[in-house]
Amino acid sequence: MSALDSLTPGKCPGCGAINNIDPKESTYICECCGKLRAVNLFKEAYQEQEDRKAARRNELIPPGGVVDTVSRKHIFETDIRPDVESALRDYTFGLTSACTNQLLIAPYTLKTQAKVKHNSNQLHSFESELELYEELAVADSAKDLIKKSKGTSTAYAYVLTCLDLLSDRESVNNRYSFLPTNYSKAAEALGDDKKPLKARLNALHEASIGLEDMISGNFKPAAEKLKSASKRLEDARAMAKNDIDSSAMVTAINQEIGTCSSCITVCDSLGDSLDDEEEALALQLFGKLMRELDRESIANTDRKEILEEFSKLVKTRLNGERLVKVASGKGDYMVPMWAVDVKYTFQGGSLFKKKAVEVTETVLVSACFMTSSMEYPLSFVTDIFGAAPKATLSTKFKGVDSLSAGSRISEICSSATAGGLTGVLVVPLCTKHVAEELCNEYLKGCKSNADKLRMAKCEAREVIYIPCNKQGYDFVPTIDMGGVPPRSLGNPDLVPSMNL
């Protein structure tokens, strides 16, 4: 007798899925929810389900009773159809509602527990009842009702198990070992009337296998699977947009495509450059970074830029590659700042010989803030124009060549070199265009030079890492900032950092 012949059915007491278990073993891990439980609990749960089914059968067909075709049809229409139709309506709505949730998230992140009316164990129990009702379904309409009800309840059960895995802190490290099973079983259960959802679930099956590769450090095959899954999700989204019953899940599909895109960026950037220990550290930080990006609802295009810079940091720190610019100096933290060039023209020269002076100044903008901080632009920039010396009789007579006190900031940027990073590395959260927007807001607030700076153009050039120490709830530069340090660089407790 083969090993398979010795297996017996058992019902997971948690998620309710049927597993083939070895009764000789003492414990078993459910293939759907991933929970380890005693084999006896699987056997007991299965037996309880079978006992309920037998009791229900006795209610419908008394023991020893002979049921002909006419009687079976009558029993079905009278005692079964009303309950099944009611359950089907309820579960169809529940499935549609559940699928408006994002069903794929990045490694080492957690999803908030979804608010749902049902649970997977309840749905699997209903699925078991339907097996009994199949015996009494004579008419084609009855058979179709059972088939549709079974498909809907089964798919719904596995989708709920996916949502539980995505929000379960204990499963955060191994959920991608179990998600593929649930996606594929849910897709397999659906009929042709749910084509958009079926296409989505099949795409998520491939994506979850890709994320399992990613966690294992197999970045290249992970990227290939994720790119394929992303394309399939785009196809599912197009189908959903044209189907009134599926259109509510378009937003969730967009989020899943965004998750694939973020993970592809990291996989493509890291390649085969890290060893096993380094991969684990990098992925844990990636999860922390993704949680912050999710919290702030950062757009996919901005995420790509942030994650590319993150990958540079990983390779700089772990591989010693010289991929980022560092200002000269020592500090416990290396804090990212955008070097933003500000180009403007003003009337300079001496009192009797005026001339148009074209100037490019550099402003440093903290890269540790999110878009929610845009209402306080002065706090995150080196205020080189506000700190400019006041005009004197001498300067009015001789003229000036600049409107700022930014010479030291320009020196810091020009002398920054590509090199290794020491201390704790702070991951930038601000993208190029956001830094430019913040700098423009800062220029609008420079009222003393408003007329002269009105036509200024801002261009974020590169990220430079500034040595800093932690002081209270902020970073403080340890190098001379020419008297114009930003009021704030960011709260060290709120930004992702790489302490390796």
Four-residue CA torsion sign, 323, 370, 287, 202: negative
**CB of 67 closer than 8 Å to CB of 75:** yes
- C-alpha distances (whole Å) from 357 to each of 343, 354, 393, 452, 453 are 11, 9, 20, 11, 12
Helix (H) or strand (E) holding 356: strand 353-366
Distance CA 155, CA 187 (A): 7
pLDDT in the model for residue 295: 72
pTM: 0.81
pLDDT in the model for residue 65: 61
Domain ranges, ordered by start, for the chain: 69-318, 324-498
Task: Report CA 271 to chain centroid distance, whole Å.
Answer: 20
Distance CA 71, CA 80 (A): 13
Neighbours of 469 (CB within 10 A): 16
- C-alpha distances (whole Å) from 54 to each of 42, 61, 498 are 19, 10, 59
Q: Tokens standing for 49?
A: 């389900």
Q: Tell me the per-residue pLDDT of 231-257, one tens digit each, with 9 for 90 and over.
A: 999 999 999 999 998 999 999 999 999
Four-residue CA torsion sign, 306, 308, 309, 311: positive
Q: Is 403 exposed, middle or buried (0-12, 13-18, 19+ CB in 10 A)?
A: buried
**CB of 440 closer than 8 Å to CB of 455:** no
Helix (H) or strand (E) holding 418: strand 417-418
Distance CA 117, CA 105 (A): 22
Distance CA 198, CA 243 (A): 13
Distance CA 458, CA 456 (A): 7
Task: Report CA 400 to chain centroid distance, whole Å.
Answer: 51
pLDDT in the model for residue 438: 86
Distance CA 229, CA 240 (A): 16
Distance CA 242, CA 223 (A): 29
pLDDT in the model for residue 455: 66
Q: Tokens standing for 59?
A: 């209610």
Per-residue pLDDT tens, the chain, 500 aa: give them: 445 557 899 999 999 999 999 988 999 999 999 999 999 999 999 999 999 998 998 888 876 665 688 888 889 999 999 999 999 999 999 999 999 999 999 988 888 888 888 999 999 999 999 998 998 898 999 999 999 999 999 999 999 999 999 999 888 778 999 999 999 999 999 988 899 999 999 999 999 999 999 988 889 999 999 999 999 999 999 999 999 989 999 999 999 999 999 999 988 888 776 777 777 778 888 888 887 777 767 777 788 888 888 888 888 777 777 788 899 889 999 999 999 998 887 665 554 455 667 788 899 999 887 544 455 667 788 988 876 655 544 444 444 556 778 889 999 999 998 876 777 888 888 889 888 988 888 887 775 555 666 667 889 999 999 999 998 888 999 999 988 888 888 878 777 776 65
Distance CA 101, CA 115 (A): 10
pLDDT in the model for residue 411: 92
Residue 385 one-letter amino acid: F
Q: Tell me the per-residue pLDDT of 58-100, one tens digit each, with 9 for 90 and over.
A: 888 876 665 688 888 889 999 999 999 999 999 999 999 999 9
Q: What angle do CA 428, 434, 435 make, to 5 degrees?
A: 70
First to last CA, the chain: 53
pLDDT in the model for residue 434: 87
What does the DSSP assignment read for 403-417? S-S-HHHHHHHHH-E
How does DSSP classify residue 380? G
Q: Tokens standing for 346?
A: 């003003």
pLDDT in the model for residue 15: 95
Distance CA 308, CA 286 (A): 11
pLDDT in the model for residue 253: 97
